[in-house]
C-alpha cells in the first residue's frame, strides 16, 4: 500500500499532531464562554475530515463545471433542503465559506458600488461586515450607522426610523455580535419598507434560537437572512444565505462566481449533518437550556455587584461592564486574568465605550458551548461566582488557585470527545 494513504497524523507530522492533541486538552480542561463558539458533535467533526475535501464542484447541484459531482450533489441538496426546512425559507445557499462571505454576497446582490447602507455600529454590537471603514462593506458602500439608546442600551427603533428617513439607505442591515436583547425584525422590516429599503438580517449569533422559535424569525420580514453555521447553530465553520425565491438566482450568482470559486464540499456535508441535528426534537431543549443558563449566569454576576449592559439578557450572551467608569478593571486585564484560570472569554467594547477596542470596558460571555457539554443552572451559578471573584481580585494568586481547582473539578464532570482525548506523556505541567 502507498504510505501516502495510510500514515496517520502523528507519524506524518508530529508538530501539528501534538498541537491538535494540545488543543483537545485545552478545550476539554477549560471553561469555554466565548459567545460565538460551540462544540460540534463527533459526527460533524468526522464529516469534515472526509474525502469530499478532494472534490471540485463549482456551480450548483446538476449544474456543475466538473465531472464526478453526483455525490457532491446528494450532499448539497440535503444541506439546502434541511436549511429551508429549519428556517421556513424559500431559498438557501449553503456555499459561503464564512459569515463574512455570506454578507459579501448579499451586499453584492442588493447594492451597486457606492450605494447607501445603514448598519449597526460595531461598538454597539454590530459586525465588521455591516459597514466598518476597514471592511469591504465600508470601502465599497456609503455607510450610515445606528446604535443603542444611551439610557436603555437597547436598539432605539424610533431613532432608527429617523435615521432611515434621513439617509434613505438601499439596504438596512440588522443583526449583531454582542447584543444581549431580542431584535424586533418585524419593526425593522416596517422601517425599511417605509423608506423603500431592503433588509439583510444577519443572525450569525442567534441562528440556533431562531431555528427553534426561541427568538422571533426575520425570515417573514427581511429579503435576505445570513448566518454563520458554527455559533448557536452548532455546525462546522461556515456561512449560509436564506432569501425569497425572487432573489434566488441573483444570490447564487453572487456567491459563485461572484465572491467564491469551488465550494467546500466536505464542509457542506458537515453543514448537512448539523442541520439534521437541528431538526431533531432535542435541539429545542438544548437552545432553551442555553437561554436558561445565560439568565442564571447574568443574575449571578449582577448579584455580585457587576453591571450588565442593558441590565440583563434575552438570549445566549451577556455583556459585562467590568470597567464601571474606572472603578473596575479593563476588559483586556479581565480577559487575561480569566485566561490564567482557564476561563476563556473575550474583551468587548460596550456602547459609548471610553476605552479603545483593544482595551475595552466589557467582557462578552456566552453559554452555547458549555451548554453543549451538558452544564446547567448549578454550574452557571458557580461559574458566575468564580467570574466575579476574578474580576474583583485579578491579582490575587490565592483566588486564582482556588478558581483553577474549581474549573478542574467542573470540567472533569463534563467529558467530551473521548476518542480524541489523548493523555499527555512526558510532561507533568500543562493543561
Ligand X SMILES: *Cc1c(COP(=O)(O)O)cnc(C)c1O
List residues with catalytic annotation.
56, 58, 202, 228, 231, 237
Which CB sits closer to ligand X, 207 or 391? Answer: 207
Q: Enter the C-alpha cell of residue 24.
A: 483537545
Whole-number minimum distance, CB 15 to ligand X, in Å?
A: 26
171: closest CA among 224, 118, 130?
118
Instruction: Considering the complex, state which of residue 132 and residue 400 has its C-beta at the smaller distance from ligand X.
Output: 132
Give the 3-state DSSP-derived string for 126-191, with helices as H, strands as E and coil as C.
Answer: CCHHHCCCCCHHHHHCEEEEECECCCCCCECHHHHHHHHHHHCCCEEEECCCCCCCCCCHHHHHHH
The owner of cell 434575552 is: 314
34 is written with which cell numbers?
A: 466565548
348: Cα separation from own chain's centroid: 14
From the CB of 175, what's the least distance to ligand X, in Å? 5
Q: Which of 168, 173, 153 lies closest to 99, judged by CA? A: 173
Q: In the complex with ligand X, which residue's Cβ is closer, 178 or 298? A: 178
Other CB atoms within a 10 A radius of the CB of residue 111 amount to 20
In whole angstroms, the minimum distance from the beta carbon of 309 to ligand X comes to 16
CB atoms within 10 A of CB 325: 9
Beta bridge mates, 243: 91, 224
> Min. distance of Cβ 157 from ligand X in angstroms?
19
Q: Name which of 127 and 271 has its Cβ closer to ligand X.
A: 127
| Interacting residue ranges for ligand X, rule: CB under 6 A | 36, 98-100, 127, 129, 175-177, 202, 204-205, 228, 239
Q: Nearest 10 degrees: CA dihedral of 290, 294, 296, 301? A: 160
For the CB of residue 205, give the shortest distance to ligand X in the complex, in Å.
Answer: 5
Query: What does each C-alpha distance from 311 to 99, 181, 291, 348 come to in angstroms?
Result: 29, 10, 15, 16
Return the number of the residue (255 or 329) whose C-beta is nearest ligand X: 255
Q: Give residue number: closest CB to ligand X.
A: 99
Amino acid at each position: 500500500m502507498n504510505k501516502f494513504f495510510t500514515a496517520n497524523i502523528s507519524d506524518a507530522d508530529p508538530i501539528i499532531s501534538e498541537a491538535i492533541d494540545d488543543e483537545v486538552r485545552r478545550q476539554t480542561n477549560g471553561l469555554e464562554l466565548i459567545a460565538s463558539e460551540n462544540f460540534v458533535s463527533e459526527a460533524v467533526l468526522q464529516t469534515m475530515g472526509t474525502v469530499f475535501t478532494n472534490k471540485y464542484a463549482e456551480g450548483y447541484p446538476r449544474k456543475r463545471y466538473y465531472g464526478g459531482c453526483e455525490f457532491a450533489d446528494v450532499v448539497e441538496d440535503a444541506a439546502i433542503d434541511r436549511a429551508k426546512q429549519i428556517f421556513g425559507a424559500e431559498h438557501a445557499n449553503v456555499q459561503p465559506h464564512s459569515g463574512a462571505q455570506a454578507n459579501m454576497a448579499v451586499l453584492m446582490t442588493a447594492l451597486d458600488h457606492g450605494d447607501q447602507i445603514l448598519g449597526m455600529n460595531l461598538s454597539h454590537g454590530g459586525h465588521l461586515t455591516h459597514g466598518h471603514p476597514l471592511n469591504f462593506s465600508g470601502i465599497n458602500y456609503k455607510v450610515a450607522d445606528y446604535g443603542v439608546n444611551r439610557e436603555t442600551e437597547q436598539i432605539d427603533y424610533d431613532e432608527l426610523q429617523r435615521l432611515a428617513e434621513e439617509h434613505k439607505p438601499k439596504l438596512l442591515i440588522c443583526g449583531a455580535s454582542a447584543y444581549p436583547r431580542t431584535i424586533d425584525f418585524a419593526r425593522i422590516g416596517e422601517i425599511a419598507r417605509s423608506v423603500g429599503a431592503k433588509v439583510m438580517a444577519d443572525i450569525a449569533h442567534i441562528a440556533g434560537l431562531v431555528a427553534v422559535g426561541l427568538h422571533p424569525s426575520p425570515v417573514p420580514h427581511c429579503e435576505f437572512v445570513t448566518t454563520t453555521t458554527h455559533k448557536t447553530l452548532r455546525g462546522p465553520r461556515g456561512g449560509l444565505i436564506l432569501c425569497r425565491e425572487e432573489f434566488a438566482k441573483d444570490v447564487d450568482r453572487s456567491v459563485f462566481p461572484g465572491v467564491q470559486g469551488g465550494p467546500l464540499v466536505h464542509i457542506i456535508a458537515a453543514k448537512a449533518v448539523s442541520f439534521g441535528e437541528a431538526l431533531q426534537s432535542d435541539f429545542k431543549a438544548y437552545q432553551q437550556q442555553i437561554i436558561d443558563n445565560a439568565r442564571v449566569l447574568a443574575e449571578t454576576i449582577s448579584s455580585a455587584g457587576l453591571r450588565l449592559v442593558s441590565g440583563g439578557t434575552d438570549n445566549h450572551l451577556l455583556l459585562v461592564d467590568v470597567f464601571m467608569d474606572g472603578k473596575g478593571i479593563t476588559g483586556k486585564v479581565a480577559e487575561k486574568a480569566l485566561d490564567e484560570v482557564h476561563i476563556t472569554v473575550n474583551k468587548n467594547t460596550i456602547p459609548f465605550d471610553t476605552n479603545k477596542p483593544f482595551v475595552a470596558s466589557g467582557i462578552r460571555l456566552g453559554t452555547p458551548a458549555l451548554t453543549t457539554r451538558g452544564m446547567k443552572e448549578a454550574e452557571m451559578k458557580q461559574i458566575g461566582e468564580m467570574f466575579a471573584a476574578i474580576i474583583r481580585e485579578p491579582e490575587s494568586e490565592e483566588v486564582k488557585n482556588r478558581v483553577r481547582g474549581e474549573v478542574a473539578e467542573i470540567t472533569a464532570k463534563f467529558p467530551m470527545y473521548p476518542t480524541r482525548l489523548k493523555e499527555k506523556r512526558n510532561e507533568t505541567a500543562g493543561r
